[in-house]
Amino acid sequence: MKTQWWKNAVGYQIYPRSFKDTNADGIGDLRGIIEKLDYIQDLGVDCVWICPFYRSPMDDNGYDVSDFYDVDPLFGTLDDAKELIAKAHQKGIRIILDLVLNHTSDEHPWFMESRSSLDNPKRDWYIWQKPRQDEKGKRIPPTNWASFFEGSCWNYDETSGEYYLKIFSDKMPDLNWANPDLRKEMYAMSRWWLDLGVDGFRVDAVAHLSKDTSFTDSEMKLNHDGVAPDWSKFSNRPELFEYLHEFHDEVLKHYDCLSVGEVGGGANVKAATRYAGYHAKAFNMVFNFDHCWKNGAFGSEDKTDDELTVNVLDLKETMDRWIQGMKGKGWIPHYWLNHDHPRVMSQYGNPRKFHRASGCMLGTVLLTLPGTPFIYNGEEIGMTNVDYTDINDFNDVWVKNYYEKAIKRQSPEQILTHLRRTSRDNARTPMQWDDSASAGFTTGKPHQKPVGNYKEINVKQQSEDPSSILNAYKHLIRLRKHGHLHSVLVNGDFKLISPKNKDLFVFERKKDDVTVLVVANFRAHEIRYKLPYLPKAIHYDNYGLAEISKEIVLLPYQALVLEK
């Protein structure tokens, strides 16, 4: 029987490579997650989404899968995965697997067969096209489409004399979802993991399963690589939903599981209802990225950190548009960041001057929004972006591709500033457990350099500080999950208050006779504000004030959870 348990849940995302290493090889592993299950349980979360740990050459940190049915030795064994699932369940924690359906590694046996000859039975499991020639007779790709990872989305294969489509890395060829045999294999693999005991999937890059099979050039303006960043050629296309309905009927509807689709490529609210509407027969919810870049980080190389300002009006409008657009139509998740984004503390908080206050404020907003909140590991202690001064400290394959091209038009200093603000490596540094060497993540050499502030920002230090960001998250999760505010915070109506205020994010949650007012100051200075009413109770204040009047002066990054 389906219980829709995920509606009342708080999720927690783990990037396993950087979470906890138990064998001193410098790479986090499944046994590290098992070791930290008590920490996860104490935080109060209900389900854990774990980034890929399948067997992989690790070109893109595990999203390039070479065997869907095995665990990569870097992370452990299949028995470790089974033990993790069992022990998590004993603690009331569900496990969500990151399901990669769009592509495989070029070292997957399927692709090795596919590229071996033009008439191989698995040739059509991937997307192949013949070369074109330019006016000089030079071989060029089949279309002018750009890849998400810089350059063309086509890669030439010398063996067969054709190009294969790869919208991410060269080593991640896209699967051909138009092939029914391929789809059957992906459904069987998905059922295998659910039968093993996982409680659902976060489906990676799901918006891209269907492509424009006319394979015609985009009319969009070409970028500095001479290709068109026209994501509509392989994003949110009509045929996609036929595949998702089939996936639902063949897999999801037979299990009491959570399904979350990662929907990029310009999906709007209307499109989201097709993915996760109550009657869509696809997913339970979808992640969108619209709220993630509201501080002008891109193109900010000539600005100081203090000159970057959160566009609170845009942030509020975006969140309100999604919440109201999905109201009565589908469930919605909320998150500040994931493994592909910069740290929210550095984007929307103030790590240098108001680390504790801004971290608590951001947690307050996240955990009082409607729907299902997801916390990214390290967010609960206010981990920050990297402080790297050497390009060699970065690991991300996208960074390497970007640097190679950007150095032709920018200085190394400009590129490093850009990467410190936007790189995916910002979220992939080792989890900061304590102030010992390598932040307590490993006793060996870490696969990636920890952020230099780990001696001041770590789990051990914050566990011992009642006013810390970590303890604020624990309190806010309890507030959301237990007691008389549970129903209003999960299911209550959402209404923006003072929507034109450019500094404050104020909203009301209301259900039956319970009304909660959340007030959040996104600025590093005091702000005068008149509350719409005098509250009867203060359920949270990150400055710990005991009393409140109707006319208040909000301190920098102050956050309040009030009951009418």
Strands of 154-157's sheet in order across? 128-129, 162-165, 154-157
CA-nearest of 470, 453, 456 to 542 is 470
Beta strands 94-100 and 200-204 are parallel
One-letter amino acid identity for 560?
L
Query: Is residue 375 a contact partner of residue 472, using CB atoms and an 8 Å limit?
Result: no
Give me 18's structure tokens.
């950087």
* Residue 204 is a catalytic residue: yes
Rounded to 5, what percent of the chain is helix, strand, coil?
A: 30, 20, 50
Q: How far is CA 489 from the centre of its chain?
A: 22
Catalytic residue among 262, 380, 425, 508: 262
| Catalytic site residue from 204, 230, 380, 425 | 204
Phi/psi of residue 43, each to 5°?
-60, -35
Question: DSSP secondary structure string, 58-122?
Answer: -TTTT-S-SEEEEE-TTT--HHHHHHHHHHHHHTT-EEEEEEE-SB--TTSHHHHHHTT-TT-TT
- Is residue 307 helix, strand or coil? helix
> Does 219 participate in catalysis according to the annotation?
no
Among 43, 117, 4, 7, which residue's Cα sits nearest to residue 371? 7
Backbone angles phi, psi at 514, to 5 degrees: -110, 130
Q: What phi, psi does 176 have (nearest 5°)?
A: -95, 95
DSSP 171: T
DSSP string, 503-514: SEEEEEEEETTE
Residue with tokens 């102030």: 435
Whole-number Å distance between alpha carbons of 242 and 216? 23
Q: Which residues are catalytic?
A: 204, 262
